[in-house]
Amino acid sequence: MAEKMEFPAGTTPSGVAGRHIVLGLSGGIACYKAAEFCRALIKAGATVQVVMTPSAAEFITPVTMQALSGRAVFISQWDDRTAGGVDNNMAHINLSREADAIVVAPASADFMAKLLHGRADELLSLMCLARPIERVPLILAPAMNREMWTHPATQRNVAQLRADGAHVLGVDAGAQACGEVGDGRMLEPDALLEAVDAFFYDKSLAGRHVLITAGPTVEAIDPVRVLTNRSSGKMGFALASAAARAGARVTLVTGPVALATPSGVQRVDVSSAADMFAAVQADVHDAHVFIACAAVADWTPATPAAQKLKKDGSGEPPALRFVETVDILATVAASARAQSGDLYCVGFAAESHDLERHAQAKRERKNVPLLVGNIGPATFGQDDNALLLVTAQGTEEMPLASKKALAHALIKRIAQAI
């Protein structure tokens, strides 16, 4: 009987959920993206206090930002409204003390130049200067014309701001509002959310390379027919995202799935079990962790027909002959690096019944330190899952939770194990 354990404390996803973000807008056309970003933060579970420079208010109205954030917007240091529940007319102190981070998006060239010098002539820069530097991180999302971005003054300012402890995000390339094309566009709202969310995770896998397989494989019968399975890839993608947030370099080898690549993850698309094995072999040499989350076909047609198989009128279906595919996990787990402990291998087991018994047997058969069992039909395509972790020491349940939450818990476990 499995020893039942509660979902371990501190292993639910951190990220922006439950955080209080001061979203600062300085003047730039990218202010229109800040509206969407504000919504995205709130949807992800953050509370948002918007502070705008007077220039930003030329580009987008405080009314819009108030409606989206659900809070009155602050623009002036002379604003005598209650700020942060305190009536002392010191919004720059009160609003910055309650923040988990100040995110300035867009951060204009002028605003960054101002921060660099510690100038504080309007509320937002005043607040950045007055924030408790060791407790309230400052994240800047630059936005400007390409010439302004590449100008030595701006690049010098970015380097100095980083040296002063600010986290300056990158910029996008492409068409700019001014009609020119190049680097300097502010990151899109989704990418901004990813970057800010990632900021709040422990970097427990920094310097590590994590290789993950995900999704189904597709085995050709003939040029138009295939054998595949119902794996959606969601768990593998959630693991890739969690590993990247934990600071790892992540390679995700995936069968065909309709999922976006998590940011910071290198994706390798494959089709058949043989393709997946080749892609894993190409990347496993310097991996520290290998997670086999893919639902790999166990058998593949021995000789896929070169032309479409036609009905011959006899009523007899074609006789298909199968051969076993390479067991990718077992092969990797048997390698010298895995055996010496340089490569930590994690397997998954999608079972339909007797989960604990099958998962234990599978862990021993595949010779991996950790095997994660789940009930296949209950999880394929779903956003939630329940896991049974099987190690040589015993078993542990991770009760029903989102795949995202489970992925973060699992990545934390793996980081502890290595």
Binding site for ligand CTP (CB under 6 A): 213, 273, 292, 294, 296, 298, 325, 327-329, 347-350, 362
Vertex 97: Cα angle to 95 and 103 (nearest 5)? 65
- List all residues 6 or more positions away from 315 whose beta carbon is below 8 Å from its beta carbon: none
Given the complex with ligand CTP, which of 202 and 275 has the nearer CB atom?
275
123 contacts 62 by C-beta, under 8 angstroms: no
Given the complex with ligand CTP, which of 21 and 291 has the nearer CB atom?
291
Given the complex with ligand CTP, which of 83 and 218 has the nearer CB atom?
218
Q: From the CB of 49, what's the least distance to ligand CTP, in Å?
A: 45
Given the complex with ligand CTP, which of 102 and 284 has the nearer CB atom?
284
Given the complex with ligand CTP, which of 125 and 217 has the nearer CB atom?
217
Active-site annotation holds for 178: yes
Nearest Cα residue to 31 out of 58, 49, 69: 58
Distance separating alpha carbons of residues 238 and 56, to the nearest angstrom? 36
Q: From the CB of 262, what's the least distance to ligand CTP, in Å?
A: 19
Q: From the CB of 246, what's the least distance to ligand CTP, in Å?
A: 20
- List all residues 6 or more positions away from 209 whose beta carbon is below 8 Å from its beta carbon: 248, 249, 250, 251, 286, 287, 288, 289
Q: From the CB of 168, what's the least distance to ligand CTP, in Å?
A: 39
Q: Pairing state of beta strands 344-351 and 370-375?
A: parallel
Q: From the CB of 217, what's the least distance to ligand CTP, in Å?
A: 8
Distance separating alpha carbons of residues 83 and 228, to the nearest angstrom? 58
Q: What are phi and psi of 292, to 5 degrees?
A: -95, 90
Please give the single-letter amino acid code of residue 177: A
Helix then strand count (H, E) for the chain reads 16, 19
Q: From the CB of 213, what's the least distance to ligand CTP, in Å?
A: 6
Kindly name the residue from 31, 128, 178, 293 that is annotated as catalytic. Answer: 178
346 contacts 368 by C-beta, under 8 angstroms: yes
- List all residues 6 or more positions away from 188 whose beta carbon is below 8 Å from its beta carbon: 33, 172
Given the complex with ligand CTP, which of 18 and 304 has the nearer CB atom?
304
Tokens matching residue 233: 């890839």
Is-cis flag, bond preceding 106, omega within 30? yes
Please give the single-letter amino acid code of residue 163: A
Q: Annotated active-site positions, please?
A: 178
